[in-house]
Amino acid sequence: MAPLVWLITGCSTGFGRELAVQILSRGDKVIATARDVSKLAALKAAGADTLALDVTADPDTIKQVTETAHRMYGKIDIFINNAGILMDGAVEETSPEEAFAIFNTNVFGPINMIRAVAPYMRAQRSGVIANVSSVGAWMAGPGCGLYCASKWAISGVSESVAGELESFGISVTCIEPGYFRSNLLNAGHRNRAQNLIADYEGTASRQMMDGLDAVNNKQPGDIAKGAGVIIDVLSQTGAAAGRPIPLRLVLGGDANIAVRQKCESTLALLDGWRGITTTTDHDDV
């Protein structure tokens, strides 16, 4: 079987780097990208092709880089929309510029990447697009509302695009990890609202932010194990052999528990208000 060609954004650290390393070890081809291509030197030495790519660049630039990636092997089998940033702070504390920055990186950039990759996959009538979201797409806590909102958005986009591209033989999934021991919460990767408001001290927003500090580098998820599962699922090999690619890949024991609790609480909410909220239809319906 010919090696698969993987295109991955955000490969300088975390899941992106680990995915690239493991994919190369399986004998597939990796086109690894990052804003600063110099940070991909180790991946290049390991056999990856590397390209400079900022997902917040203008659409024409993104298309040009994607075209360069496609020319390398004449195809892109699997694309992982991995690049993203974290922002914490109460919604009121987050400036319009900060709000745009997080949505630009976590939503608008990935959408532009989908626009750039999809034509090649449509032409070959095959491919996989995986958008990296978060367990935060299922629940938004105080102090990280905009981050969670951006992840809700990309999960929603994924569901729509899955239906739009299915006819072309393209599978789309949304990867929703729980807390993994990456560097996402470390200095230089985690962004905090600059104009913090004293009134929020001691409130749920600060408790959430302090909680992120406390869990940093103690997260239950193992990135190496998580990357292995992602690769199996997207390539339909190993533990996922013979199984269809799921619309959502909820990754991690903590994420599984959290999503189940969210589903159960949502059902309880529907049941509790059903007698009132279902009285709004026309009588002839």
CB count within 10 Å of CB 279 equals 7
Q: What is the pLDDT of residue 186?
A: 61
Confidence of residue 83 (pLDDT cuts 50, 70, 90): very high
| Cβ–Cβ < 8 Å for 16, 79 | no
- Residues tagged active-site: 12, 133, 147, 151
- Which homologous superfamily is 5-258 in? NAD(P)-binding Rossmann-like Domain (3.40.50.720)
First-to-last alpha carbon distance for the chain, in angstroms, is: 55
CA proximity to 243, closest of 230, 233, 252: 233
Q: What is the mean pLDDT of residues 261-272?
A: 97
What are the phi and psi torsion angles at 252 (to 5°)?
Answer: 110, 145
Per-residue model confidence as pLDDT tens digits over 143-191: 989 999 999 999 999 999 999 999 999 999 999 999 888 766 666 567 7
Confidence of residue 79 (pLDDT cuts 50, 70, 90): very high
The pLDDT of residue 194 is above 70? yes
The pLDDT of residue 46 is above 70? yes
| Cβ–Cβ < 8 Å for 65, 53 | yes
Give the full edge-to-edge strand order of the sheet including 5-8.
Answer: 49-52, 29-34, 5-8, 78-81, 127-132, 170-177, 248-251
Task: Residue count of the chain, please give it.
Answer: 285
Distance from C-alpha of 84 to C-alpha of 106, rounded to nearest angstrom: 5
Distance from C-alpha of 217 to C-alpha of 225, rounded to nearest angstrom: 16
Confidence of residue 209 (pLDDT cuts 50, 70, 90): confident
Q: What is the pLDDT of residue 189?
A: 62
Q: What whole-number percentage of the chain has pLDDT above 90?
A: 83
Average pLDDT score over the chain: 94
CA proximity to 19, closest of 238, 192, 10: 10
